[in-house]
Amino acid sequence: MDERKIAVKLLYDIDKNGAYINIALEKTLNTNELQPHQKGFISELVHGVTERKITLDYIISQFSALKLNKISPNVLNVLRTGIYQLMFMTKVPPSAAVNESVKIAKSFGGPRIGGFVNGVLRTVQRNSDNISYPEDPTERLSVYYSYPLELVKLFTDEFGLEFTEAMLIANNTKRPLTLRCNLLKTTPDNLVKNLETEGINAQVYHNRKFPELDYAITVDKIKNIKTLESFIKGEFYVQDVAAMLVTDVLAPKPGDTVIDMCAAPGGKTTHIAEKMLNKGKVYAFDIYEHKLNLINENASRLGITICDTVLQDAAILCSEYINSADCVLVDAPCSGLGIIGKKPDIKYQRKPEDFKNLSEISLSVLNNAAQYVKKGGTLVFSTCTVMKEENEGVIEKFLQTHGENFSLEQIENINTCNNGYVTLYPHVDGVDGFFICKLKKH
């Protein structure tokens, strides 16, 4: 099947069936006999159209005689993919973007639909530099950067217009992929050499804000990462710098007992074990058996033997672990608004009422974590969101009931720490949006 048609069918699955973009892509790309360049094209098109869907629909509404709700879902996705190629994929010849889209449209609805798609795309091609966007500042941000208006208002209420626009731009800008070098198996310099031998342009990560992250590696886009010998040997784990910082803040030591309360898929769990030099014990909690299997697979590949996976709802107290841990990590359930750049479908799924529900779950997990950590131990709370209600708001409520036993610790190895809180922003720090705070038990 043509890769553009595969992309259209994937987009239908994501829109109509609520499929997660990364899972849907992986399943489709692994079950079709596709060349690497075809897989890359499909992935770019599906991610790109999902990321820019609001912008694309706005453009279609300007140049189509039919209203959006009168266009069939498959034909609408043909238009979206065609316009995305015309406006955002500079390596695709405009003639190919139009002609191939028309072919797919004909397969869905015959010559009449093909003519309709041809007319819209040709008009967009001629007028792409003259598209007028809404004058209202908030509506303009919503349409131009493709974010639901409700979410843009949420951001501007919290951060202001200028800060919000900078954040949206950063989320729509691709950053280099980062890898965490597995120091149990190799060194950053050797990993760079091994990757370059495999045809990957790699270099040790450098950021003056985070000088201690000398084990991070940045690489150009990798199309088939799981086939690399260095991946199979467990020399690295794909992880954003912000997520690496969480384990640095936790600072587990060899021989410690550590609990990772919400552990899947195991990125931070395995990083903790690496920091401990594979000595001690890490208990990885998750509520789903298949996610625990994923943690075990990652640990095995990385050569880690000290992780015990536990089928456990972190929101329910387990008396077996009370006062047992030197360090506890709560990487809490959250809206994920800090990682929209990597998972653009998140912005269409979240509603304002989600924040309250997620914050309540986070607080219940944190309350249990407080009982698991020993006196003198460390409790780290992190999220991949930038919203205060899910971050500082949760910690403030926690300290209202646990303030006698816990205190906020200044995080010395991150220079953006403010009164014990660290919030990282894509446009400020060049990493995923994240929140980290460190608590000490007395």
For residues 143 and 116, membership in a common domain is answered with no
For residues 275 and 401, membership in a common domain is answered with yes
For residues 122 and 149, membership in a common domain is answered with no
The predicted pLDDT at position 220 comes to 85
User: How far apart are the C-alpha atoms of 37 and 139, rounded to whole Å?
Assistant: 37
For residues 80 and 125, membership in a common domain is answered with yes
For residues 43 and 99, membership in a common domain is answered with yes
Is the C-alpha dihedral spanning 73, 75, 78, 79 positive or negative?
negative
User: How far apart are the C-alpha atoms of 193 and 410, rounded to whole Å?
Assistant: 37
The predicted pLDDT at position 1 comes to 66
On whether the pTM is more than 0.85, the answer is: yes
The predicted pLDDT at position 350 comes to 86
For residues 311 and 345, membership in a common domain is answered with yes
The predicted pLDDT at position 420 comes to 84
Single-letter amino acid code for the residue at 288: Y
The phi-psi region of residue 35 (left if phi > 0; otherwise alpha if psi is between -120 and 50; otherwise beta) is beta
359 is a domain residue: yes
For residues 349 and 281, membership in a common domain is answered with yes
For residues 224 and 257, membership in a common domain is answered with no
The predicted pLDDT at position 298 comes to 97
Catalytic residue among 181, 327, 384, 417: 384
The predicted pLDDT at position 413 comes to 73
Domain ranges, residue 398: 251-441
pLDDT tens by residue, the chain, 442 residues: 689 999 999 999 888 888 888 888 888 888 778 888 888 899 999 999 999 999 999 999 999 999 999 999 999 999 999 999 999 999 999 999 999 999 999 998 899 999 999 999 999 999 988 899 999 999 999 999 999 999 999 999 999 999 999 999 999 999 999 999 999 999 999 999 999 999 999 999 988 888 889 999 999 878 778 889 999 999 999 999 999 999 999 999 999 999 999 999 999 999 999 999 999 999 999 999 999 999 999 999 999 999 999 999 999 999 999 999 999 999 999 999 999 999 999 999 888 788 889 999 999 999 999 999 999 999 999 999 999 999 999 999 999 999 899 999 988 877 666 778 999 999 999 999 999 999 999 9
Domain boundary at 238, 270, 285, which? 238
CB 64 within 8 A of CB 71: yes
The predicted pLDDT at position 417 comes to 65
Q: What pairing do the DSSP bridges indicate for beta strands 307-311 and 281-286? A: parallel
**CA-to-CA separations, 69 to 64, 72, 121, 425, in angstroms, rounded:** 12, 8, 18, 36
The predicted pLDDT at position 64 comes to 94
For residues 433 and 285, membership in a common domain is answered with yes
Q: How many CB atoms lie within 10 A of CB 12?
A: 16
For residues 115 and 28, membership in a common domain is answered with yes
384 is catalytic: yes
Determine which helix (DSSP H) or strand (DSSP E) holds 119, and give its type and residue range. Answer: helix 94-127
- Domain with 32 in it: what CATH number? 1.10.940.10
DSSP assignment of 354-422 equals: HHHHHHHHHHHHHHHHHHHEEEEEEEEEEES---GGGTHHHHHHHHHHHTTTEEEE--TT-TT-BTTEE
